[in-house]
Structure 1
Amino acid sequence: MRHALTIAAALALSTTLAHAQDFTLRLQTFHSADSPVGEGAAAFIDDVETMSDGRIKIEPFFSSAVVKSVETFDAAVNGILDVDMTAGSYQVGKDSAFQFVGDPMGGYDDPWQLYAFVYNGGGLEAARELYASYGMYLVGFHIQAPESLASSKPLRTVADLKNFKFRSPPGMETMIFANLGATPVVMDFTEVFTALESGVIDGADAANLAVNKSLGLYDVVKHATYPGFHSTPANHLAVRKDMWDSMPADLQRIFEVAYEKFAFRLTLASAVETRRAASELAAQGVEMHDWSMEDRKLFRDAALSAWDEFADTERAKQIVKLHKDFQSLIGLREAD
């Protein structure tokens, strides 16, 4: 009897020790600790550590404190970090497919349509295959409100984009807007306010309405596209694959569930903040321009043409097809 109890105790101790294994992960984000994403990330970390009973510990580095934002992905792959909370669009140089998981520009009208593609349109599975090919496990995406253009002239329709000279990030966006007659000027995010103030540009693609307001852009120009239509970036959470694979299934599940909570709450909070910003800006005389469904379709058609041109790898073409099939399913475009 005593022998049986000894064996049982040993087994119980073995199980306890196995479950006591700790994982310490170093996470970097380009957001500051006091930003909405930074505060959400802190809550996510607390959820993971609490639900795992301390078996997972996450050391956060805000404002890209370890390496430059664009270097976060490779730093995680190479073991300098473990978790990348930045953006897949930084990795377009590796494969143009990252553009279509990081920001399928012009593809959707709101974040929830994009989430639906991720979870119900095959997007997450395709994206995880892409990330795995570079040594990372994609946990998922967090999506804020669609971005709004700030401009010194009204942008009521697609036709108003003709000769519109504006700050644009590099890449596929310049192709889309140039095809519609605009003049994109690639410049650093930090130069936007001065360029608007001096009249070097007529407007800017910077961020969503609330962030644009916080940057003071509408102190200089008095027009905004709202709700946005041209860009809905999906930032990511990705873990080095060998680290992820070493974690037991229960800890992986905790990580994923806590992240979905963070992502969806961030999206809801962002919607509220942009609505609040819209009300405040309207009271200050800023004019909001909500494009008609016809103009959104014209923009989307131009975007899809650029997608076909930009997608220069088989994996990118596969993800573009997934997007188009899902757009047809939910009524955003006619089926081929």
Structure 2
Amino acid sequence: MTDTRNRDTSDTTRRKFLKTTALGAAAGIAAPHVRNAVAAETIVWKVQTSWPAGVGLQTFKDWCGTIKEKTGGELEFRPFAAKELVGDFELLDGVKNGVLEAMNSFTLYWVGKMPAAAFLSSYTLGLRHPHEWDMFFYAKGGLQAAREIFAKQGLHYVNRIHHGANIIHSKRPIRSFEDFKDLKLRVPGGMIAETFAAAGAKTTLLPGGEVFSALEKGTIDAADYTGPAVNWDLGFQQVTKYISMGPEGLMSIYQPVDLMDLVVNMNVWNKLPDKLKRFVDDEVQVYSNIHFGAIQKADMETWPKFEKAGTEVNRLEPEDLEKFQRVAVPIWFKWANKDKDAARLFQKQLEIMENPSVGYVTPDMYQGMKVDL
């Protein structure tokens, strides 16, 4: 008698194997479609920067190019240079209105819409080093305050991004406080513009991408813009002969830390899964470090190029600092009292500047002035 039990078991096993193999093959064939489906679910943000060229723009684009891989395809940043989708000074509205999901801008650009933005980046003889700004953001509640202020505009302020000091390129030498008198000077607006106006300059506001042509045409005599590397790439050495900076040890008296930021449309931010919100929070810190380091490296390597091109570098004297301080302090308080948001930001910074850890300010410097909280 033939035992059919083993044969039946063997047949059943074989049928299961063939069925499994067929399903496996089918899954293998379908795998590309599964990956495409995942890719189709990628959250894509259009992010425009204020950088028009140079190391700033390239560093921004390189960083954006890492986001999709870092998130396993869940989030992608598509980078755009200054003015590619909207004008530089229209960035904030572009993000609010959904033309862009996010922006990487110079925070100071928005003082016309938010006076408090004047205290979210450098101003004349205020906080002077990156670590002092981090004291404000992370030890004095500045980050939370910034987020609350931008939220009123329908925007989420993710975090600050460190940049570096700004310098002034000029057609004539600027060696003292008095040399600013009647100088047609491009500045970013706000307190900085008012301080130079108080020193006698005729100030104007222009986006970075328009500075070269204004210098070339003689519409302006001089321009503040970023640091030497980006300014070299923009060709400022072709249309100016002089660079002006602060005294030794202080590259810029008016924007020693020209902060940028990453700001996202609030609805876009709220739709982001919590794990991606945490990722973006952390990643902006990573980018800030990369950005700051790339800018500093490029700046240090660019100074010999200006020297070879015949550009003359002039520095203000310590006594010029005192003259600027006298005109700057009343402007601090004027801007602080424009609204309650500006007041609370400045109060935090004033406490840092008065603290012995920093020590820039003493009460006698603002006698008779107060912050209206």
Q: Common fold, TM-score beyond 0.5? A: yes
Tell me, which stretches of 5 or more residues in structure 2 are unaligned? 1-39, 246-250, 365-373
Q: Which has the larger radius of gyration?
A: 2
Q: Distance in 2 between matches of 1:49 and 1:163?
A: 50
What SS does the corresponding residue of 1:307 show, helix, strand or coil? helix
Q: Cα distance, 1:106 vs. partner? A: 3.5
Q: Distance in 1 between matches of 2:211 and 2:60?
A: 27
Residue 306 of structure 1 aligns with an amino acid whose one-letter code is I
Residue in 1 that maps onto 2:349? 323
Q: Distance in 1 between matches of 2:279 and 2:99?
A: 24
Give per-residue Cα distances to partners, 1:149-177, cap 9 Å, x unaligned.
11234333324333434233444333101
Q: Distance in 2 between matches of 1:190 and 1:66?
A: 14
Residue 163 of structure 2 aligns with an amino acid whose one-letter code is Q
Residue in 2 that maps onto 1:31? 51
Residue in 1 that maps onto 2:339? 313
Q: Distance in 1 between matches of 2:76 and 2:211?
A: 38
Q: 1:269 to 1:188 in 2, by over 3 A?
A: closer
Answer with 260-269 or 324-333: which moved more: 324-333
Answer with 301-310 or 92-101: which moved more: 301-310
What SS does the corresponding residue of 1:213 show, helix, strand or coil? helix
Residue in 2 that maps onto 1:8? none
- 2:356 pairs with 1:332: no
Contact kept, 8 Å, 2:102 with 2:263, in 1: the verdict is yes
- 2:191 pairs with 1:172: yes
Q: Cα distance, 1:236 vs. partner? A: 1.4
Contact kept, 8 Å, 1:223 with 1:286, in 2: the verdict is yes
Q: Cα distance, 1:217 vs. partner? A: 2.7
Q: Distance in 1 between matches of 2:132 and 2:274?
A: 29
Residue in 2 that maps onto 1:234? 259
Give per-residue Cα distances to partners, 1:283-310, cap 9 Å, x unaligned.
4432323334553354244333222223
Q: 1:278 to 1:301 in 2, by over 3 A?
A: farther
- 2:298 pairs with 1:273: yes
Q: Distance in 2 between matches of 1:318 and 1:273?
A: 36
Counterpart mapping for 1:1-336 below 5 A: 22-32=42-52, 35-186=54-205, 192-193=211-212, 196-197=215-216, 201-226=220-245, 227-231=251-255, 232-311=257-336, 312-329=338-355, 330-335=358-363
Q: Cα distance, 1:266 vs. partner? A: 1.1
Contact kept, 8 Å, 1:140 with 1:237, in 2: the verdict is yes
Give per-residue Cα distances to partners, 1:109-167, cap 9 Å, x unaligned.
34443344333333212111111122211111223221111123433332433343423
Query: TM-score normalized by structure 2?
Result: 0.74
Q: Distance in 1 between matches of 2:213 and 2:80?
A: 29
What SS does the corresponding residue of 1:86 show, helix, strand or coil? strand
- In percent, how many aligned pairs have the same letter? 26
Q: Distance in 1 between matches of 2:186 and 2:91?
A: 25
**Structure 1 runs of 4+ off > 4 angstroms?**
185-201
Residue 320 of structure 1 aligns with an amino acid whose one-letter code is F
Root mean square deviation of aligned Cα: 2.9
Q: 1:61 to 1:272 in 2, by over 3 A?
A: closer
Q: 1:223 to 1:112 in 2, by over 3 A?
A: farther
Q: Cα distance, 1:254 vs. partner? A: 1.4
